[in-house]
Amino acid sequence: MNRTTVLGVCLVQERRTSARGVPYALGWVVFRGMDRYTRLPIVGHGVLADRLEAVNGRPVVLAGHLRERSEKDGSSRLQVVVEELFPVEAPIFEAPLGHPVIDGYARAEVSGLLALDPKPLRGATGLRVAVRLPQGAGYGGTSFVNAVVLGDPPPGVKKGRRVYLAGALRPRQSDPERLTLYASEVWAAPGKAQEEEEEVAYG
């Protein structure tokens, strides 16, 4: 399970072609949710690149999967690989940077192995989850999702255990493009993770 649903305005930044000759479009879905302005990075491959350009500057609902994208400066950020896209009608206003934006949201559901021991935070707990990416279209492999759960995690949420998380994607106060999953639902699967999954997450 690795699923994200977003309501916001689609902004296409640029279009490129991969080394395999597949076109893709890079951009954001922008929205204001929970009194915080958010620019969620997105990418659409193939025909979805055309669809993203067709709705550039318009409100949309899109769905896809999360992956962690490495930046040139050594940092990383979450990005949504678009799988479905639908234009919608919604009231538009002007964002701080001058482009159109709407009141929206981003919700994610992920399942994977807890890659590190839970990290105590002030009034919360930080989790880093290794999730499998969908096979096909050049994906596959493993990515990571950083999550925060208020208070202590439920029993059984520990390194190496398969966990399920669901909640809102929210940006850090310092950067509207660096998002964290604030999980309102967290639970651990019973039993031990399969050896194959452990090799993917830690190998």
Q: What is the CATH number of the domain that holds 32?
A: 2.40.50.140
Same domain, 171 and 187: yes
Tokens of 162: 């398969």
- Per residue in 143-168, is it b (16+ CB within 10 Å) or e — as a string? bbbbbbbeeebeeebeeeebbbbbbb
Could you tell me the two tokens for 30? Answer: 């922008």
Q: Which pLDDT score is estimated for 192?
A: 54
Do 88 and 130 fall into the same domain?
no
Residues 15 and 68 both lie in one domain: yes
Same domain, 122 and 86: no
Q: Where a domain ends, among 73, 103, 133?
A: 103
Closest CA to 165 of 150, 142, 144, 149: 149
Report how far apart the first and last C-alpha atoms of the chain are (Å, whole number): 21
What pLDDT is recorded for position 134? Answer: 75
**pLDDT tens digits, the chain, 203 residues: what are they?**
789 999 999 999 999 998 888 899 999 999 998 778 999 999 999 999 999 999 999 999 999 999 888 877 778 889 999 999 999 999 999 988 889 999 999 999 999 999 999 999 999 999 999 998 876 555 567 889 999 999 988 888 999 999 999 999 999 888 888 999 999 999 998 765 444 444 444 44
How many residues are recorded in the chain?
A: 203
**Same domain, yes or no, for 12 and 87?**
yes
Q: How many domains does the chain have?
A: 2
The pLDDT assigned to 135 comes to 62
Q: From CA 2, how far away is CA 64, in angstroms rounded?
A: 8
Are 6 and 97 within one domain?
yes
Q: For residues 43 and 83, state if they share a domain.
A: yes
pTM for the model: 0.84
For residue 87, the enclosing domain spans 2-103
**Residue 16 burial (10 A CB sphere; 0-12, 13-18, 19+):** exposed
Residue-level pLDDT at 51: 96
The domain boundary residue, chosen from 44, 75, 103: 103
